[in-house]
Amino acid sequence: MNDNVLIIDFGSQFTQLIARRVREMNVYCEIHPYNNLPDNIENFKAVILSGSPFSAMGNDAPSIDLNLFRKRVPLLGICFGAQYLAHNLGGKIESSEVREYGRAKLNKIFHNSSLFKDINIGSQVWMSHGDTIFQLPENFELIASTEDVENAAFKIKDEETYGIQFHPEVSHSLDGAKLLKNFVIEIAKCEQTWTPDSFVESSITNLKNELGNDIVVLGLSGGVDSTVAAILLHKAIGKNLHCIFVDNGLLRKNEFNEVLESYKHMGLNIVGVDASKEFLSALEGISDPEAKRKAIGKTFIDIFDREAQRIKDVKWLAQGTIYPDVIESVSVKGPSATIKSHHNVGGLPDYMKLKIVEPLRLLFKDEVREVGTALDIDANILNRHPFPGPGLAIRILGDITEDKIKIIQEVDDIYIKHLRESGCYEKIWQAGAILLPINSVGVMGDERTYERVVALRAVSSIDGMTADWVQIPYEILAKISNDIINKVKGVNRVVYDISSKPPSTIEWE
């Protein structure tokens, strides 16, 4: 992993996208915040400076020592990164009267640098900046302009240092991936060796070395991350990996048994624990969403701990943590307020004193799936929609009872089956049904009914941070609604959620 790219984060909302674009070219990269650079910077073959919500001219502007990199490795400043280079090396920046935001076209390219190789005049780029570089320092060469932004791209003479004021990492910059590739492959000469197969191979070797003959315990959830982590570990240490799969009674219909079976088929050493009664009693009378999460989190830890104690000589706890959870973020406006306490199944009690192993901590979600494919994990598991840890408890608004769980399991099952049969499932990022805490009047046969209302939700998203509601065709919605009302006793009305995130969230609780 010596062909690394170091991405220095100044707090841009797009920093992770830069990393994903670099990884897509099979080059390994790491994101580090500007104020906590890694010790081994000499191992990196190229450096990218991210954008930032700060102004390069501000007193509070983040700063780094450019001499750590300049003339030693190729350096690319993006947006703030470019302005930072210009400002600190003698150029002039000013705040433009209007924020330069949105699509623009390159109208001049000077092909004296490989950065714009195979990129032509007219190429669409995406701008998002308040400041602009008004005058380049003397030893800078202009390499591209747009109609409104003269100094859209530059190179420093006699060194491989570049700056661009647009964002190549966002998909609206149509040749953005090409530009980044020119930088990483043509200019920095990084080798494209970061592939799922090479990751699998090196991880297995590293896990073998790290874990030796030690016993490891891992909690499986049926989700992609824990499954891929389990299979990797299984390949490395075989039966020394002990998996625990807890049925909290809040999973989808039949999910526990089906998933448990498929885990057994994969050869995993696994114990399935039916703890649905314990969860139900821990949730009794609780309606508040955060209180539900806490009760579920605590019960999970108690049960997991109890089960793990049955395994002798456990030394390690394995977790399916992925890269976005690991990246240290640059705090721009102080710690953000908790909207939902998502990572409810986070830590275990200290007294377990286990060492932590996280085989996926270097991977983005899409890479976890690719590694899963390289490990021959069934596509049915890899392509599943995400499902929240607290499960149906946060899709039953208000308090939880066994009857309510049954109703929503049936509704959800019909919904998901229709999505699968109609080919919609793969096009949706996440879908589920919600049981509302109200009854409505209906008529069935000659009888007046006063029964439950359910809501259906389906969203498209990249990572769950933002989401759009999906426009499922009316004919399919009609069939789903009909089927639910006909088949699920106690439900007489179905509504479809047409809210995006933000301002709504994906789950209703």
Q: What angle do CA 226, 228, 234 make, to 5 degrees?
A: 100
Is 247 a binding residue for ligand XMP by CB under 6 A? The answer is: no
Nearer Cβ to ligand XMP (441/498): 498
* Enzyme catalytic residues: 79, 167, 169
Buried b (16+ CB within 10 A) or exposed e, 350-381: eeeebeebebbebbbbebbbbbbebbebeeeb
Part in contact with ligand XMP (CB under 6 A); list of ranges 145-153, 179-187, 206-214, 382-390: 382-390
Is 506 a binding residue for ligand XMP by CB under 6 A? The answer is: yes
Of these, 87, 293, 404, 493, which contacts ligand XMP (CB under 6 A)?
293
Dihedral sign for Cα atoms in the order 320, 387, 30, 183: positive
Distance set, CA 119 to CA 127, 151, 414, 458 (Å) = 17, 17, 49, 38
Is 292 a binding residue for ligand XMP by CB under 6 A? The answer is: no
Residue 387 CB, shortest distance to ligand XMP, in Å, is: 7
- Four-CA torsion 114, 115, 118, 120, nearest 10 degrees: -120
Residue 142 CB, shortest distance to ligand XMP, in Å, is: 44
Is 464 a binding residue for ligand XMP by CB under 6 A? The answer is: yes
Scan for tokens 């089927």, then name that residue. 483
Residue 40 CB, shortest distance to ligand XMP, in Å, is: 33
Alpha carbons 418 and 479: distance in angstroms, whole number: 8
Is 501 a binding residue for ligand XMP by CB under 6 A? The answer is: yes
If we measure between CA atoms, which residue out of 442, 320, 421, 310 comes closest to residue 369? 320
CB-based burial label for 59 (10 Å; 0-12, 13-18, 19+): exposed
Part in contact with ligand XMP (CB under 6 A); list of ranges 144-152, 167-175, 254-262, 336-344: 336-344
State the residue number with the nearest CB to ligand XMP: 389
Is 51 a binding residue for ligand XMP by CB under 6 A? The answer is: no
Is 430 a binding residue for ligand XMP by CB under 6 A? The answer is: yes
Is 342 a binding residue for ligand XMP by CB under 6 A? The answer is: yes
Residue 412 CB, shortest distance to ligand XMP, in Å, is: 13
Of these, 130, 137, 346, 386, which contacts ligand XMP (CB under 6 A)?
386
- According to DSSP, the residues that pair with 146 across neighbouring strands are 106
Q: What angle do CA 125, 126, 127 make, to 5 degrees?
A: 120
Is 344 a binding residue for ligand XMP by CB under 6 A? The answer is: yes
Tokens of 502: 């933000």
- Inter-residue contact 319 to 345 (CB < 8 Å): no
Is 388 a binding residue for ligand XMP by CB under 6 A? The answer is: yes
Of these, 340, 384, 406, 417, which contacts ligand XMP (CB under 6 A)?
340
Part in contact with ligand XMP (CB under 6 A); list of ranges 96-104, 132-140, 367-375, 381-389: 381-389
Q: Following DSSP, what letter does each residue of 65-114 receive, concatenated?
A: -GGGTTTTS-EEEETHHHHHHHHHTT-EEEEEEEEEEEEEEEEEE-TTSG
Is 207 a binding residue for ligand XMP by CB under 6 A? The answer is: no
Part in contact with ligand XMP (CB under 6 A); list of ranges 6-14, 76-84, 387-395, 414-422: 387-395
Nearer Cβ to ligand XMP (225/367): 225
Q: What angle do CA 408, 278, 455 make, to 5 degrees?
A: 15
Is 365 a binding residue for ligand XMP by CB under 6 A? The answer is: no
Site of interaction with ligand XMP (CB under 6 A): 293, 340, 342, 344, 386, 388-390, 430, 464, 501, 505-507
